Structure 1
Amino acid sequence: MAAQVTAMLASLPTHDLLWELSNLVIMKEMKVAISESAKSGMLVGAVTMASGLFAGPSGILFGGIVGSCVAAYMAQGKFKTVPEIINQDMSSEQKEKLADELRKCLTAQNIYTVCEFALQVQSSELLLESIVHIVRQFVTSELAMKIM
């Protein structure tokens, strides 16, 4: 019996499983902030305060606008989607750990191949929610990143 389960899990190779995960629309919509939100907020606040001290109420307005534009420009490219994080930033060990977590969930729902996963995830809202929860948990706890 154990040999059958092991053989079935081999039908969920890490690369293929993570590729299917990356192709889910909901994963592409999940953005991860890489410590830029706090920096941007402090920049906007500092520029607004300095402008307000020098120019009064109109300085606050001008400082807020300029600070926001500068912060937005500096933060470009600092927010990544979950598939970008998986494909570009995660080590092989981290990818394997995420895939193991996903395999546990899928085998609990009697899904043993990537094809079954691709079909079931489109029709099962519960499965999709479980997958999203696993990915969110992994990104926040293992990678110490915040999902927006």
Structure 2
Amino acid sequence: MPVQVDDIIKLLCHVSDHQKMKATIKHSARGALVAAAGAFLGGLVGGPPGIAVGGAVGGAMGAWMTSGQFKPIPQIIMELPPVQQQRLCDDIYTIVRTLDWTDATQLIMLVMGNDSLKQKVVAALINYMTKELQAEIQYGD
């Protein structure tokens, strides 16, 4: 059976929604850019002391901008480029390849009905999110 990306994506969305999983993708480059822009503007306005003040303010703003932006994992999965979705599906397929399913609904039922299999799928999803996307995972509301 060829890897059915849509079925596996639906499975991952269902499992992560069921677990109430959220993630934040770290945007350290964006934070660094804000800090640098603050230092630059501070330097233009206030000279050398302005660089220090602008850097501090820009750094604080950059840290604030990049923290706590948790999104539901199903949303993150759906927003992944096709190449990354395929890579994620390939990882999950190694877990579910022995199952015989005809559509996403059946695949979801098979995985959700087997705690061991469900845990393996969740672990692989978390591994992908943390390693490939440098995401921080959060559970619950």
Partner in structure 2 of residue 84 of structure 1 = 75
Question: Higher helix share goes to which structure?
Answer: 1
Deviation at 1:84, TM superposition (A): 1.0
Q: How far apart, in 2, do the equivalents of 1:123 and 1:146 lie?
A: 27
Structure 1 distance, partners of 2:66, 2:84, is 26
What is the letter of the counterpart of residue 26 of structure 1?
H
Partners of 2:25 and 2:133 within 8 A in 1: no
Structure 2 residue 94 is the aligned partner of structure 1 residue 99 = no
Partner of 1:26: 18
What does 1:61-140 align with in structure 2 at a 5 Å threshold?
78-88=69-79, 90-108=80-98, 110-113=99-102, 114-140=104-130
Identity %: 24
TM-score, normalising length: structure 2: 0.60
- Post-superposition Cα deviations, 1:67-93, rounded to whole Å, max 9, x if no partner, equal xxxx6xx689821111111112x1110
The answer (yes or no) to whether the contact 1:106–1:112 under 8 Å persists in 2 is no
Q: Secondary structure at the match of 1:78?
A: coil
- State the alpha-carbon separation in 2 of the partners of residues 146 and 84 from structure 1: 15
Contact kept, 8 Å, 2:21 with 2:73, in 1: the verdict is yes
- Tell me how far apart the structure 1 counterparts of residues 124 and 100 of structure 2 sit (CA, whole Å): 16
Cα separation, 1, equivalents of 2:105 and 2:120:
18
1:134 aligned counterpart, secondary structure: helix
Give the superposition deviation at 1:21.
Answer: 1.9
Q: After TM superposition, where is structure 1 displaced by more than 4 Å over at least 4 residues in a row?
A: 74-77
Give the unaligned 5+ runs of structure 2. Answer: 32-63
Aligned residues, how many? 101
Matches of 1:98 and 1:34, distance apart in 2: 16
